[in-house]
Amino acid sequence: MKITKLELFKVAPRWLFLKISTDEGICGWGEPVLEGRAETVRQAVLEVAGQLIGKDPRRIEDIWHMLYRGGFYRGGGILMSAISGIDQALWDIKGKWLGVPVYELLGGKCREKVKVYGWIGGDRPSDAVAGALERKTAGYQAVKMNGTTETGYIDSYDKIDEVVERMAAVREAVGKDFGIGIDFHGRVHKSMARILAKELEPYRPMFIEEPLLPENLDELKTLVHHTTIPIATGERLYSRWDYKRLFEEGLVDIIQPDLSHAGGITEVKKLAAVAESYDVAVAPHCPLGPIALASCFAIDACCHNAVIQEQSLGMQFTEEMSLTDYLKNPEMFSYENGYMKLTEGAGLGVDINEELVREMDRKGHSWKNPIWRNEDGSVAEW
């Protein structure tokens, strides 16, 4: 079997899909995208496409290392996102060729279903109680919401109070056994993060996510010893080498690699195994489309330390097009009592509506994250 063609499709709301075709008629789909940099990642895939034509797509490990080690400069969001989408598509091809789900090729499933959570509140958290109750009524057992809006290096206690009051209201509404994740989104600087984490402890969050920017991992050591809340991070780390310090210095309780940014299925499977050796859980990051999510579920199925899965249904970004809109089998992402039953479909299990994908690619998108500013006019973290 040989790779014959790579095609890329930039589709709403902010995604990039990849189709890899072979001379045996088997095609695989991947999602190589970095949100807000879809066009840049497209060019990165096109740059390496010539190296893939004529290669056997079943030699996934060799191709991964060729793409990663074959360039003098390596790592980072753009290259690793390009590799991620290619890797997903290769696993999809191999599963289809053998007629089995990808997780069967990774050792087989160690669970029958995967717990998921739903987003509430939007970028600037609002109506969180209504959103949480809606999710609970729909059967979810956990939600996640952004914690804060713009937050300065040293900011007012009013902002702390807003977060705490919102968390208290959601906890009261959904009850003590419902999971609530709080995403700091890298918006909070270390001095305020310590205060905020301590104030949130009585409400027993499921975790606090990205409490500090990845550039400030040194300061996580202080925060880890300052709070009893589990700390989750990793969506802006791109390989097992980026994660080494987190493990070695005990800076994290839950890692959140993104299957479209962190080297795809090949790399995240290895990363999850390393995490397990440090008694660290895995909760893959995925505010993306159906191919990325299907790749996450392949990892969740066969990694013992996978605990919960993010997914984009109902997110603020998906009002125009949802992840199920691009599928001929949207039922694969139907959740019951807050869990998704694992697909038995070959490969990643997604049946892509290629006609719609090509139509939406003609429209394209130019999604960029907003630029926020503090009250004094300085640029704020989004």
Active site residues: 185, 285
- Give the integer Cα–Cα distance in Å for 33 and 40: 9
Q: In this structure, is the dihedral angle defined by the CA atoms of residues 222, 223, 227 and 230, taken in order, positive or negative?
A: negative
Q: In this structure, is the dihedral angle defined by the CA atoms of residues 259, 260, 266 and 267, taken in order, positive or negative?
A: negative
Inter-residue contact 278 to 100 (CB < 8 Å): no
Per DSSP, helices labelled H in the chain are 38-52, 60-69, 77-98, 102-105, 128-137, 157-174, 190-200, 220-224, 240-248, 264-277, 290-302, 354-363
Distance between start and end Cα atoms, the chain? 45
Q: Please choose, from the candidates 180, 179, 244, 238, the residue with its C-alpha nearest in 3D space to the C-alpha of residue 217.
A: 244
Paired sense of beta strands 379-380 and 372-373, if any = antiparallel
Inter-residue contact 156 to 355 (CB < 8 Å): no
What count of Cα atoms within 13 Å lies in the side-chain half-sphere of residue 227? 30
- Give the integer Cα–Cα distance in Å for 174 and 129: 8
DSSP 201: G
Backbone phi, psi, residue 291, to 5°: -75, -45
